[in-house]
Amino acid sequence: MKALQVKGPRELAVIEAELPKIKSTQDVLVKVKRVGICGSDMHIYHGTNPLATLPRVVGHEVTGEVVDIGSDVKNIRVGDHVVVEPIRYCGKCYACRKGRQNVCALLSVFGVHEDGGMREWLVLPEKQLHVVDSELPWEEAVMAEPYTIGAQAVWRGSVAQGDTVLIQGAGPIGICILKLAKLHGAAVLITDLSESRLDFARENGADVTVNAAKEDVRQRVSEWTNGEGANVVIDAVCLPSTFELSIEVVSEAGHVVVLGFDERFSSISQLPITKKEITITGSRLQTHQFPKVVDLLNSGKLRANGLITHTFTLDQVREAFEFIENNPDQVRKAVIIFD
């Protein structure tokens, strides 16, 4: 079978790989149909993802059709359409015992620490697959994993009906967070440097948009919240400066949610954290968000609505990575088609 492998920094190859086989009674064989290209895939391609090992078959935003199942598989049938939950965990460490398998001490992420889904066939245990409505278009189903990132950030921020939420960054993940925050009944202000991204955010429910290159975000947040500050600030830009801003503009008793892996230091005073009793949380991958997201997809409450802007075949994959790299303002989400 064909698979896309990152051999080294900026070195892509479509390789011939061995067809995977069911080895465990709980295994499921899946014919891959669509794989989204994530920002983390681009970082692996650039050689800047500190968590990935190379060479690596990338891809963790995956949907496909079940073609065979092990004898002990209970809830999945041949012919089902499924999406991939891309984490494998030990189930025994402190994080796992606390129900936070996404930060397991022995966490293995599909497409990062182990070969991922950008290949024609894959085998995974039943627990890593979720059945979606077979009537759901593949282009909608493939967005399940990015939506779980948004759902996790919203959960980590305890977003509730009537909250004011500031999302920094209107890229693909920022839009996924926006969609989930609106479904929780929050009012959302979103920032970015791109007018086209801000236009798209308004189309997807943003109440207020702010171009951070042209406007004072602090002032706009203060005006929007009548001086209270945003109840929840979710940083999807992930720079030291945006983290610092989050602490400044969050309200008393508010939540700041951080998604970044930037190793540079931020200058944060203890005073506002204590004075406002701010809750600061990280948000990584997802914990138990797939069933919720699948229900929202199946019910039609979550739709891409233009979030996918480009599709490529596996034979065009080098073109796809180069296009994303050279045209970041044109690409919201690119998807590889396996048919």
Residue 194 CA to residue 175 CA, distance in Å, equals: 13
Question: How many Cβ atoms sit within 10 Å of the Cβ of residue 311?
Answer: 14
Q: Which residues neighbour 16 within 8 Å (Cβ) at sequence distance 6 or greater?
A: 1, 2, 3
Q: What residues contact 61, with CB distance under 8 A and at least 6 apart?
A: 35, 36, 37, 38, 117, 142, 143, 144, 145, 146
- Locate 50 and state its tokens: 């500190």
Tell me, yes or no, if the pTM score tops 0.95. yes
Quote the CA–CA distance of 260 and 153 in Å, as a whole number. Answer: 12
In order along its 339 residues, the chain shows pLDDT tens digits of 999 999 999 999 999 999 999 999 999 999 999 999 999 999 999 998 888 989 999 999 999 999 999 999 999 999 999 999 999 999 999 999 999 999 999 999 999 999 999 999 999 999 999 999 999 999 999 999 999 999 999 999 999 999 999 999 999 999 999 999 999 999 999 999 999 999 999 999 999 999 999 999 999 999 999 999 999 999 999 999 999 999 999 999 999 999 998 889 999 999 999 999 999 999 999 999 999 999 999 999 999 999 999 999 999 999 999 999 999 889 999 999 998
Q: Which residues pair with 208 in a beta bridge?
A: 189
Residues 48/155/281/44 CA torsion (nearest 10 deg): 0
- 150-282 homologous superfamily: NAD(P)-binding Rossmann-like Domain (3.40.50.720)
Query: What residues does each domain of the chain span?
Result: 2-143+304-337, 150-282
pLDDT for the residue 133: 98
Centroid of chain to Cα 98? 22
Please tell me the CATH superfamily of domain 2-143+304-337, with its number. Medium-chain alcohol dehydrogenases, catalytic domain (3.90.180.10)
Between CA 296 and CA 174 the distance in angstroms is 18
Cα separation, 132 vs 134, whole angstroms: 6
Judged on CB neighbours under 10 Å (0-12, 13-18, 19+), 71 is exposed
Q: Whole-angstrom Cα distance, residue 140 to residue 133? A: 11
Helices (H), the chain: 39-46, 94-97, 138-141, 144-156, 172-183, 195-203, 217-224, 240-249, 270-275, 290-299, 317-326
CA–CA–CA angle 298, 302, 303 (5° rounding): 100
